[in-house]
Every structure is written in structure tokens, then in C-alpha cells.
Amino acid sequence: MTRSVNPYPVGLDLEGRRVVVIGGGSVAQRRVPVLLESGAAVHLVSPDITPTLQGLVDAGRLRWEAREYHTGDLDGAWYVVAATKNSLVNARVAAEAEQNRTFCVRADAVNSGSATTPAVIRRDEMVVAVLTGDRARTVEARDIVAKALTDAGVQAPGVDEQLRGTVALVGGGPGADDLLTVRGRRLLSSADVVVVDRLAPQRPLSELRSDVEIIDAAKIPYGRSMAQEAINQVLVDRALAGKFVVRLKGGDSFLYGRGYEEAQACAEAGVPCTVVPGVSSALSVPALAGIPVTNRGMTHEVTIVSGHLPPGHPGSLVQWDALARLRGTIVVLMGVKNTPKIAEALINGGRAADTPAAVIADGSLEDEVSYRCTLGNLAETISTHDVRPPAIVVVGDVAGLSQATVAGKP
């Protein structure tokens, strides 16, 4: 039912409450991370979902039923998001929600649901929500408010015409949205197109203009992924079409992020490309867990190594026996699956089995967890605690230092 809207502004406490999202595309990808951050128990219904949403499912963050919407799916829900590409299905969802007296947002028809998602500006702990009866006017009003905040000392979204036809490779940091750099957030707010991985901070996507194209290039370890060549082509094609493209990924683009390949593809196509370094998870995640990768008088070198290929693999470029003979800190990225063989290779190469070690999963996020152990029982620790990517392994005496910092966000 379409109607004129004079919305009543309200904040919803969704902590522990059932929220149903129908649809698993780009709109759901924008909404679900914010719902999860609010503490909602999200139930997703869709035949297919994006790789980023798949990563949240695999991490146990939400429940997914891989099927079409059925009447009765909204039973017990406090809040509903109808976000399929089929307007008839969205209308059915909204009708059932109306019958159940459950507030429902329709992504395809802003005035046809019983609730409206506002345009949001976030500044640290402050959230500013803007509502009007028209989506374009809402975004315009949001940008005006954001500019006012900028004039007061905070950056605001806006499109710099000089950026059109260019690409920015933005390192998003270890995952927490407040660890995205100031420059990275500023460029993201100006983007026409965002090509994003699942390990990049997700909440800033909900703050983008409604006309921004979000392309999910999520790479899930040992799962489906968007081929790098296709990613390169998307960056080039959108930029040549006059768009400002932000390639947003976790960590730092030039540390196992294939950023140089993307920069090279842009250069070959004549597309200007800039790089915004990110806070690397190799250094920041151990730090957040209270582990310094160096410590005076203890270690003089840090080696960051990719563990995506096991020792002995014909494609591996790592000399594990030489690495084992070093005395400093070893930080292993992308190595959860191959940790047993990596630990074995390091011990066989001369590293003592009682060398302190640690594994940190979901670094910087609310679900961050770390386990201290030794090189000898590292594989057992990962198995016992069912550690899954993203996780980082630290090997060296620094992993045995006592906790001197407060875990979690300040």
C-alpha cells in the first residue's frame, strides 16, 4: 500500500530480537551488518546470497535458509526487511508483516512499507538519521547535514569531480570500521562505485548514497570468489565510464591484497590510480590481542608470511626450513587450514616445539578471540577451538609475553 509518509523517528532496541531479512543481494549486504551490530538475531531467507553474507553465515553470525520466501516466515519477528529483486514478493512480505503488526521496510518502494530506513551519518558514537518522504531528498538532506558536521570539524560525503574516471585502492584495516583511515573514509564517501571484499569494514557501506553501485568481490578462503581478472576489468570499465571507483578491501592492499595487480591493470588501461594504505592486520591484530611483534632485547626481525599454500606445495615460494632457523617473530596470514603442516615444518627446520605461539581470530571485531599456546600444540589449539578464517598466527617469544593491555575497544 503506497501512501504519503510523515515518519515518526524512533530508535529500535533489537538486542537479541528476531529480525527477518528476505533477499540476499546487495541491499541485504548493506543492511545485515548494521542489524548484527545492533545485536539483532538475524534470520535470512533467500535462494542465493552474496559471498559477504555467506561469510557471515559461515562465521555463525546469522541464520540462513536457502529457499524462496514462504508465508509464515515472519512469525515472531520484531522487524522485517523486504529486499528481493521481485516487487511482487516484496509486496507479499510487506502484507504479511502488516497482518502480523510487524514493522517492515521495503527496499524497492520506500513508501510502501510500514517503516523507512533513514539515511545515516555516523561520527564516532553519534548517529544522525535523516528521513523525508522521498529517497533522493533524504540523501540530499543527509549530505547537507554531513557538510554541516564537516564545517564543525568532521569530514562529510560529497563527490569531487576531479575523482571521476579514477580508481582508489583503499586498505580498510583489520575489520573494525573505526580503524579505516580518515583518507580512506573520505574517498569512500565520494565513490560512485565500490568494489568490496568481505574482510573489509562493512558498516561504512550503509552510509553511502543510495545511487552508489556496490559490487561484491568477496573472497572466501577455499570457497567461491570473483576472479581477479574480472575484478580488474570492473575497476577499469567503471572508471572509463567516468565513475569514481573505490576498491575497498581488508588490511592493506599491497600486503597479500593483490593491490599491485589492480594498479597495473589500471595503468595499462590509462586509468589514474591512487593507493590509500590500510592498517595491516599482520601488525594490528597481534597488537589488539596484547602481543607486540617486536620487543626490545627479544627480537630483531619480523617475518610476515602467507600460509595459503602448505610447506612442500610445488607452488609455494616460502623456504620454511630457512624461516625456522630465524630467531625473530613469524606472523602467518591466511594459514588456518595449513597450520598443522606449517608448525611441523618449522619444528623439523629447527624451531623448538615449546616456542610460544598464539592464534587470533576475528581481530578487531566484537567476536575477537585469541589463544596462547606453543608451536608444538598450535595445530591442536586451532582444532580444539574450531578456529576459522580470518585468523592470524604468531610464532615467537613475543607470544609468551604477559598481557599488558586491555582487550577490546576503548
- At residue 155, the pLDDT reads 47
Place of cell 529500535: 12
- At residue 211, the pLDDT reads 87
Give the closest residue to 329 by CA, choosing from 363, 383, 283: 283
Q: Give yes or no for a contact between 400 and 292, defined as CB atoms under 8 angstroms apart.
A: no
- At residue 73, the pLDDT reads 97
C-alpha cell at 360: 587470533
- At residue 405, the pLDDT reads 80
Domain residue extents for the chain? 18-116, 157-276, 282-400
Of 3.40.50.2000, 3.40.1010.10, 1.10.3720.10, 3.40.1010.20, which CATH number belongs to 157-276? 3.40.1010.10
- At residue 151, the pLDDT reads 64
- At residue 66, the pLDDT reads 97
Cα(200)–Cα(208) distance, integer angstroms = 15
The 8 Å CB, 24+ separation contacts for 385-390 are 387/336, 387/359, 387/361, 388/58, 388/59, 388/336, 388/361, 389/221, 389/334, 389/336, 390/175, 390/199, 390/250, 390/281, 390/361, 390/362, 390/363
Other Cβ atoms within 10 Å of 218 Cβ, number:
22
According to DSSP, the β-strands at 302-306 and 329-333 are parallel
Cα(170)–Cα(403) distance, integer angstroms = 32
C-alpha cell at 13: 532496541
Q: Is 136 exposed, middle or buried (0-12, 13-18, 19+ CB in 10 A)?
A: exposed
- Superfamily of domain 18-116, CATH level 4: NAD(P)-binding Rossmann-like Domain (3.40.50.720)
Cis peptide before 390 (omega within 30 of 0): yes
- At residue 156, the pLDDT reads 43
CB contact set of 117 (below 8 Å; sequence gap of 6+): 31, 105, 107
Give the closest residue to 54 by CA, choosing from 64, 45, 67: 64
Q: Give yes or no for a contact between 129 and 34, defined as CB atoms under 8 angstroms apart.
A: no
According to DSSP, the β-strands at 213-216 and 193-196 are parallel
CATH number of 282-400: 3.30.950.10
> Along the 410 residues of the chain, how does pLDDT read in single tens digits?
455 557 788 889 999 999 999 999 999 999 999 999 999 999 999 999 999 999 999 989 999 999 999 999 999 999 999 999 999 999 999 999 999 999 999 999 877 899 988 888 877 667 888 887 676 677 788 778 877 776 665 544 455 789 999 999 999 999 999 999 999 999 998 999 999 998 999 989 988 888 899 999 875 566 666 688 999 999 999 999 999 999 999 999 999 999 999 999 999 999 999 999 999 999 999 999 999 999 999 999 999 999 999 999 999 999 999 999 999 999 999 999 999 999 999 999 999 999 999 999 999 998 899 999 999 999 999 999 999 999 999 999 999 999 888 765 55
Active-site residues: which are they? 197, 219
